[in-house]
Amino acid sequence: MESIIFSSSIKIDLRGFLSRQKYSRLGLIMDSNTFRDCYPLILDGLPDHDYYVFEAGEVNKNLTTCTKIWQWMTDLGLDRKALIINLGGGVTGDMGGFCASTYKRGISFINVPTTLLSQVDASVGGKLGIDFNGYKNHIGVFTEPLAVLISEEFLKTLPIEELRSGYAEVIKHGLIQHANYYSSLLIRGWENQDWKSIIEKSVSIKKEVVSKDPKEAGLRKILNFGHTIGHAFESFYLDTDRHLLHGEAIAIGMITEAYLSELKTGLSKDDVKLISDALIQIYGKFDFPEKDVKEIISLCSQDKKNEADRINFSLLSAIGKCEYNIPVALEEIAASITFYKSL
């Protein structure tokens, strides 16, 4: 598994890490925002390097940008001993890692995640890739970075709605695996969390799950809690002015899937209420017209997690316990969305 370094001074720890590596040349990949806000935090003392900056945004996590990155690597004459640092959120890590792990059959890379989402989620598990013709993460590989250096210093410049979006994954980690962690999150307002300890705890939960099932044959599916319906909402509103951030969509997914958990895996009614109250308090309630529902439901079945014509869900049997491969009928999904609307 990748080695994860929790850093309280990214500049010093990155410099120290690099001084212990042997590489022919160093290249940084960043997006336009992390170039502006994060690069200055590591620049001082960084060894000789080149960099490539792409325009920020999920829309650019595609083959066109990869082609430019591979061309940049080629123009620099990077050989197989070169080292890449991906400095940015999940888009940069997924795409920069994908480009590195395919260039000349793979060169080493380090991820320095700069969003809460990429620190607690994308930093673990070795999934890399890009979107393709409208399909999310459609082309990709499993490759571990040489190391992941995580520092909360980057969160200072992260827009608050991006921080809140990443926090949905933190809540998910508590709900699927750790009841005490979940209740500890509710003690203070979400903006006032101790991010350092949250990142460490969430990473350890994800790491534990992934280490037991690296290729998602079984247990790892519990990380999809909230994501089957959440992704459907995310996709449906993607190119609209109602656009939802990933975590905002997953919050809707966790509420509707908590409802399904009561139906299918015995989550108590009280817990469904506790979960939905907490999530609505943080994310508010998303308002959408009834006419959208049919297509949202049909998007659930296009999720790549399904086998044959059943829609498999990962659902809670209690707070802190999650089961996977639970088949759910379309009418039940419809009922869960009606439940959300009724809140």
Contacts to ligand NAD by CB under 6 A: 31, 33-34, 37-38, 56, 58, 61, 88-92, 94, 114-115, 117-118, 121-122, 125, 127, 137, 154, 157-158, 162, 246
Could you confirm whether 138 is annotated as catalytic? no
Could you confirm whether 127 is annotated as catalytic? yes
Question: How crowded is residue 19: how many other Cβ atoms within 10 Å of its Cβ?
Answer: 9
Q: Work out how close the CB of 129 gets to ligand NAD at its nearest, in angstroms, rounded to a whole number.
A: 7
Q: Which is nearer to ligand NAD, 58 or 200 (CB)?
A: 58
Q: Work out how close the CB of 174 gets to ligand NAD at its nearest, in angstroms, rounded to a whole number.
A: 17
Q: Which one is catalytic: 2, 33, 60, 127?
A: 127
Q: 246-282: buried (b, 16+ CB within 10 Å) or exposed (e) per residue?
A: bbbbbbbbbbbbbbbbbbbbebeeebbebbbebbbeb
Instruction: In whole angstroms, give the CA distance from residue 152 to residue 161.
Output: 16
Q: Which is nearer to ligand NAD, 157 or 301 (CB)?
A: 157
Q: Which residue type is seen at 24? A: S
Q: Which is nearer to ligand NAD, 236 or 259 (CB)?
A: 236
**CA-based nearest residue to 139, from 95, 195, 92:** 95
Q: Work out how close the CB of 334 gets to ligand NAD at its nearest, in angstroms, rounded to a whole number.
A: 27
Could you confirm whether 36 is annotated as catalytic? no
The dihedral sign for the CA sequence 206, 210, 211, 212:
positive
Could you confirm whether 220 is annotated as catalytic? yes
Could you confirm whether 169 is annotated as catalytic? yes
Q: Which one is catalytic: 220, 221, 264, 321?
A: 220
Q: Work out how close the CB of 83 gets to ligand NAD at its nearest, in angstroms, rounded to a whole number.
A: 20
Q: Which is nearer to ligand NAD, 5 or 155 (CB)?
A: 155
Q: Which one is catalytic: 173, 178, 246, 264?
A: 246
Q: Work out how close the CB of 199 gets to ligand NAD at its nearest, in angstroms, rounded to a whole number.
A: 13
Q: Which is nearer to ligand NAD, 138 or 294 (CB)?
A: 138
Helix H segments across 178-226? 179-187, 195-212
Could you confirm whether 290 is annotated as catalytic? no
Residue with tokens 């990077």: 78
Instruction: In whole angstroms, give the CA distance from residue 199 to residue 205.
Output: 10
Residues 108 and 146 sit within 8 Å (Cβ to Cβ):
yes
Instruction: In whole angstroms, give the CA distance from residue 30 to residue 51.
Output: 8
Residues 115 and 89 sit within 8 Å (Cβ to Cβ):
yes
Could you confirm whether 246 is annotated as catalytic? yes
DSSP letter assigned to residue 144: -
Q: Which one is catalytic: 206, 221, 264, 321?
A: 206
Q: Work out how close the CB of 124 gets to ligand NAD at its nearest, in angstroms, rounded to a whole number.
A: 7
Which residue is closest to ligand NAD by CB?
Answer: 90
Two structure tokens written together for 6: 């929790």
Two structure tokens written together for 41: 């935090």
Q: Which is nearer to ligand NAD, 95 or 337 (CB)?
A: 95
Q: Which one is catalytic: 227, 234, 257, 321?
A: 227
In order, the DSSP letters of 275-301 are: HHHHHHHHH------GGGHHHHHHHHT
**CA-based nearest residue to 126, from 227, 216, 224, 7:** 216
H or E stretch including 109?
A: strand 108-113
C-alpha separations of 312 from 34, 257, 293, 330, 332 in Å:
37, 11, 19, 11, 12
Q: Work out how close the CB of 210 gets to ligand NAD at its nearest, in angstroms, rounded to a whole number.
A: 9
The dihedral sign for the CA sequence 189, 195, 197, 200:
positive
Q: Which is nearer to ligand NAD, 27 or 96 (CB)?
A: 96
Could you confirm whether 307 is annotated as catalytic? no
Active site residues: 105, 127, 169, 206, 216, 220, 224, 227, 231, 246
